Structure 1
Amino acid sequence: MIYLSLFTISFLAATILPFSSELTLAGLIATSNYDNLFLLIVASFGNVLGSVVNWVLGFYSRNLTTKKWFPFKDNQIKNSSKWFRKFGKWSLLFAWVPIVGDPLTLVAGLLKVRFIEFIILVAIGKVSRYFVVFYLMG
């Protein structure tokens, strides 16, 4: 059950919701009651999958970004778009960065970044971030 909870928190942390999956992962590793490598894998998979949802949302909802209910605010999209214009697809390595990272994955979808490139770059960044937590706590 704890692995499902970690997956859910990591997934939601990759959306606009303010969850801290790093603290959750660190806390679980600190208890030493679980398989730490499996915790790393579950957190990584959930967080990357959450970013995929953002990419799909951006890819298929270009006309919805102006709606009030849309989960990302205009200024978040503009800031992330600046990052994207400055660093190109390589900015996706920073999809884990708070505030800018989640809208960045949406912008990648809006700009029709190839999915395979998206998933590789986002996974490298997000798994690396969790690996740092894993290493520091282990």
Structure 2
Amino acid sequence: MQDTLTGLWALFASAFISATVAPGGSEAVLAYMVSQGSYQAWQLLSIATLANTLGAMTTWWLGWMVAKKIPVASQLSEKQQRALQTVKDKGAWVLLFSWLPIVGDGFCFAGGWLRLPLLPAFFAILIGKLGRYALITWVFN
């Protein structure tokens, strides 16, 4: 039982950290755990999705907090301002792509910085993360 919980907590930690600005390899951890067959696939999918979504929402919150101290357009180049405008124009929908390497964390941070609405942001992130992890679970099951 202890080994089971340790493995699930390790997946949770990996998925959470991977969704923040720190690099991580939650996809590899999930793929390995699914392929081992020691856990039910739906359990692993649920834990990875929840943890990665919470990590992304932490990044969104950090962007929201930074916006209190640094106004959106104050320190950005023209190119960066155009990128932020794209996120603003597309709204929470752009957060469906928060699972993408490198730019996904930036989308979450920008979403918070631009004060995109919390619930649409949460659900867009959740759907994107679920889709990615569902594909990995399916491939390695």
- With the length of structure 1 as denominator, give the TM-score of the two structures: 0.84
The alpha-carbon deviation at position 61 of structure 1 amounts to: 1.8
CA distance, structure 2, for counterparts of residue 83 and residue 26 of structure 1: 33
Residue type at the aligned position of 2:103? V
Deviations 1:22-66 (A, max 9, x none): 11100000111112110110000100000110111111222269x
**Structure 1 residue 137 displacement after superposition:** 1.1
Q: Which runs of 5+ in 2 are unaligned?
A: 1-5
The structural deviation recorded for 1:81 is 2.6
Q: Secondary structure at the match of 1:61?
A: helix
- Matched letter for residue 95 of structure 1: S
- Report if aligned partners of 1:80, 1:100 keep a CA contact under 8 Å in 2: no
CA distance in 1, matches of 2:57, 2:83: 16
Larger Rg: 2
Structure 2 partner of 1:120: 123
Q: Flag structure 1 segments of 5+ consecutive residues without an equivalent.
A: 66-73
Q: What's the % identity of the aligned pairs?
A: 30
Q: What is the correspondence of 1:1-138 to structure 2 with a 5 Å cutoff?
A: 1-62=6-67, 63=69, 78=80, 81=84, 83-85=86-88, 87-138=90-141
- Between the aligned partners of 1:47 and 1:87, the Cα distance in structure 2 is 22
- Cα-Cα RMSD: 2.0
In the alignment, is the contact (CA less than 8 A) between 1:95 and 1:104 conserved in 2? yes
Structure 1 runs (4+) deviating above 6 angstroms are: none
Aligned length: 128
